[in-house]
Amino acid sequence: MTRLLLFAALALAVSAPAFAAERPTLADLEDEVICPTCNTTLELSSSPIAERMRVFIRARIAAGDSKGEIKDKLVAEFGEGVLAAPPRQGFNLLAWLLPAGGALAAVFTLAVLARRWRTPRGEPTAATRAANGRVPLDPELERRVDEELARYEA
C-alpha cells in the first residue's frame, strides 16, 4: 500500500510540470515578466506597454506557444531586462550561485566560531582546574583560604 502511494505521488510530481509546460496562462507569466516602463512585474503594472504585453502573451498562448517560447519572444523584442529572474546560464549564473555560496560560507564560519567558543584556549591553570573539580587544592592553600574566609565571616 505504501509503495502504491509513493508511486502515485511520484507520478503526480513528474506529470504536473509536464502539463503546466504545455498550456501556460497569463497569470503564470505575469509574475515572471517585468514592464520595461515602470520596472515592476506585469501583474502590478497598468502602463500602456504592460497592456500591450498582456495582449501579446494572450495571443501567443492562444497560438499554442509554451512559456519558454513566449519569454524568448519577449526577450527578443524588449531585451533580457524584461525577465524578472536572470537566466541560469553564462554570467547570469552568478546571480544564482553567489547567494548560495554566501550562505554556505556563513554556515561554515559559524561552525568554526562555535567550535572555537566551545573549546577552552590553552592549558587551564591550577585554580581553574580546582574550581572545575578536576584537581584538589594544595592542603596549605586550602588552609589559607579557610582562614581568610573565617576572618571575613566574623
**CATH assignment at residue 81:** 1.10.8.640
Q: What pLDDT shows up at residue 111?
A: 92
Task: Say if 11 falls within a structural domain.
Answer: no
pLDDT mean across residues, the chain = 79
- For a pLDDT cut of 70, what percent of the chain falls above it? 69
Domain interval for residue 152: 124-154
Residues in a beta bridge with 34 = 41
Q: What pLDDT shows up at residue 106?
A: 95
Does 80 score more than 90 pLDDT? no
Q: Tell which residue, 74, 83, 76, 75, has the closest CA to residue 34.
A: 83
Task: Say if 130 falls within a structural domain.
Answer: yes
Calpha distance 147→143 (Å, rounded): 6
Task: Say if 48 falls within a structural domain.
Answer: yes
Does 65 score more than 70 pLDDT? yes
Task: Say if 90 falls within a structural domain.
Answer: no
